[in-house]
Structure 1
Amino acid sequence: MPEVSKLRKPDVKIVLLGDMNVGKTSLLHRYTERRFKDTVSTVGGAFFLKQWGPYNISIWDTAGREQFHGLGSMYCRGAAAVILTYDVTNWQSLAELEERFLSLTDTANHDCIYAVVGNKADLTDPKAQVHQDSDSVSEEGPRTESQVLSACPTPPASPVSLSGLMLHKQVTHEDAVALYGRLLRYKGLDEKASLPADKMCFETSAKTGYNVDTLFETLFDLVLPSILRKRNENKESPTVDLEDCRGTGKKTRSSCC
């Protein structure tokens, strides 16, 4: 068991938000465990601690069910980045982001970064059906330009692809870009001074791994300034360790004359 003194608090927090069944948990499993597995609906929330170079980043998975809606703002408190997730085959899942989940981000950091992510792209896009081999991606820190995801042959096809049919794509990339613009206006942010939509709108597949590493590692790179700023603030305003003061802070009883 590790010593308590060696345990470190996360440097920043990233939160996944979105309706139930859009694949938030599957995205997290694909990135952290390098595989896809069927999951049940998340109850409340759960988190994974990612070591990114010398930094600790907590990634929070939240429940999409309406009965857990009130917990969302609590999980978003102090978040450095929020991943707003929808299902590319379900228009309502995009609408729910604006109607139910956007207001939950009011407790996030004022400089929070937002990504709009359409999952299940393998159901509508043939190029997303190609399995992504993640073994070549570094686990210890940011990728270099030479490190890219390599593709291996497409795995056994699903019933959808076996029939040669693709599901109808109800949410286009342009729809996601439009939502990102409304998100910036809701936050009162200048679109010209903010991160561009083409960099912050993703389409992913938790099943094949398509764009999953790109999503998370792009966000990790973008939150680094927030980590460094937080560490500098802690150095300027160090906290007092009560354990260290116990031995030196005792009052001595004065002796009588």
Structure 2
Amino acid sequence: MPEASKMKKPDVKLVLLGDMNVGKTSLLHRYTERKFKDTISTVGGAFFLKQWGPYNISIWDTAGREQFHGLGSMYCRGAAAVILTYDVTNWQSLCELEERFLSLTDTANHDCIYAIVGNKVDLTDPKAQLCQDSDVASEDRTECEEERTEPQVPPACPTPPASPASLSGVTVQKQVTPEDAAALYVRILRYKGLEEKNSLPAEKMCFETSAKTGYNVDNLFEALFDLVLPSILRKRNENQESPTVDLEECRGGGNKKAKSGCC
């Protein structure tokens, strides 16, 4: 088989987890295809192989439906990073991350990185509405992906707002704040038995994105790619220290030795 036609082997795996309709598939399409797509619910799971410099990163998109819930732990097995995704206009979608999806990450790597991502921020934040798809010049996209204020971690999750604002306007009420996401991140660290002071800070691991306009999507994936680089290098070093054995060469060498010693 020609070398070019061989399937590239992933160096590391990222997994998207979250309830249905939070926009996991749309985020992946936005990053990989540079455009927004109206998608149907994912069945089971799907993955995309991304070239990041000399490395190959597989990004797994998983189904949020209850009937596919059991597959999540299988897709998370050996993951170097997990993107826990919620809808900023839906408080319940944040709760589901902790109640249904966090336990699925038990099969991920012991040093797995966790990102908390609030999608659909274009519905609540005029700044996120300004970013448009890949036709916009890169410098314009950089301007609209300004850094947001670092959230302060509250001691516990506040009570969710009553209901979304009027849907007749351009924007709807945000039900999940950056502070809520940061508090969840801290609880994830505790669930994993990790000390907050020795872990990546919440302000670096909580993102707000819009798959529709492209707001902050590149920042999300590229920040995670940089963070999993040590895991890639460690894995490659382990493979070099434990090389595979060529059985054909061993058989040939063994036969030659046996033949020369029989006389």
Q: State the TM bucket, normalised to the shorter chain.
A: 0.7 to 0.9
1:34 match? 34
1:178-197 maps to which residues of 2 (within 5 A)? 178-197=183-202
Matched length: 241
Deviation at 1:6, TM superposition (A): 4.7
Deviation at 1:96, TM superposition (A): 0.3
2:19 match? 19
1:3 and 2:8 matched:
no
Deviation at 1:237, TM superposition (A): 1.3
Deviation at 1:246, TM superposition (A): 5.3
Distance 2:126 2:53 in 1: 34
Superposed CA offset, 1:92-143 (max 9, x none) = 1000000000000000000000000000000000001112465777xxxxxx
Q: When the two structures are superposed, what TM-score results if normalisation uses the length of structure 2? A: 0.83
Any gaps of 5 or more consecutive residues in structure 1? Answer: 138-145, 152-161
Note closer, same or farther for the CA distance 1:70–1:191 as it changes in structure 2 (3 Å cut).
Answer: same
Distance 1:2 1:127 in 2: 49
1:220 and 2:213 matched:
no
1:207 and 2:200 matched:
no
1:37-186 maps to which residues of 2 (within 5 A)? 37-132=37-132, 134=134, 149=142, 164-186=169-191
Q: 1:149 aligns to what SS in structure 2?
A: helix
Distance 2:113 2:262 in 1: 64
2:35–2:134 CA contact under 8 A, matched in 1 = no
1:133–1:149 CA contact under 8 A, matched in 2 = no
* Amino acid in structure 2 at the alignment position of 1:11: D
Distance 1:106 1:28 in 2: 23
Deviation at 1:61, TM superposition (A): 0.2
1:231 and 2:236 matched:
yes
Q: 1:111 aligns to what SS in structure 2?
A: coil
Distance 1:255 1:194 in 2: 61
2:161 match? none
Q: 1:57 aligns to what SS in structure 2?
A: strand
* Amino acid in structure 1 at the alignment position of 2:19: D
Deviates further, 126-135 or 228-237: 126-135
Any gaps of 5 or more consecutive residues in structure 2? Answer: 145-166
Deviation at 1:9, TM superposition (A): 1.1
Deviation at 1:177, TM superposition (A): 0.4
Distance 1:42 1:222 in 2: 27
1:133–1:150 CA contact under 8 A, matched in 2 = no
Note closer, same or farther for the CA distance 1:84–1:126 as it changes in structure 2 (3 Å cut).
Answer: same
Note closer, same or farther for the CA distance 1:37–1:147 as it changes in structure 2 (3 Å cut).
Answer: closer
Note closer, same or farther for the CA distance 1:58–1:147 as it changes in structure 2 (3 Å cut).
Answer: farther
* Amino acid in structure 2 at the alignment position of 1:218: A
Deviation at 1:41, TM superposition (A): 0.3
* Amino acid in structure 1 at the alignment position of 2:43: V
* Amino acid in structure 2 at the alignment position of 1:69: H
Distance 1:126 1:112 in 2: 33
2:27–2:217 CA contact under 8 A, matched in 1 = yes
Deviation at 1:4, TM superposition (A): 7.6
Q: 1:192 aligns to what SS in structure 2?
A: helix
Note closer, same or farther for the CA distance 1:222–1:165 as it changes in structure 2 (3 Å cut).
Answer: same
Distance 2:244 2:5 in 1: 15
Deviation at 1:63, TM superposition (A): 0.4
Distance 2:219 2:252 in 1: 50
Note closer, same or farther for the CA distance 1:210–1:248 as it changes in structure 2 (3 Å cut).
Answer: same
2:35–2:133 CA contact under 8 A, matched in 1 = no
Distance 2:248 2:174 in 1: 58
Deviation at 1:5, TM superposition (A): 8.2
Q: When the two structures are superposed, what TM-score results if normalisation uses the length of structure 1? A: 0.85
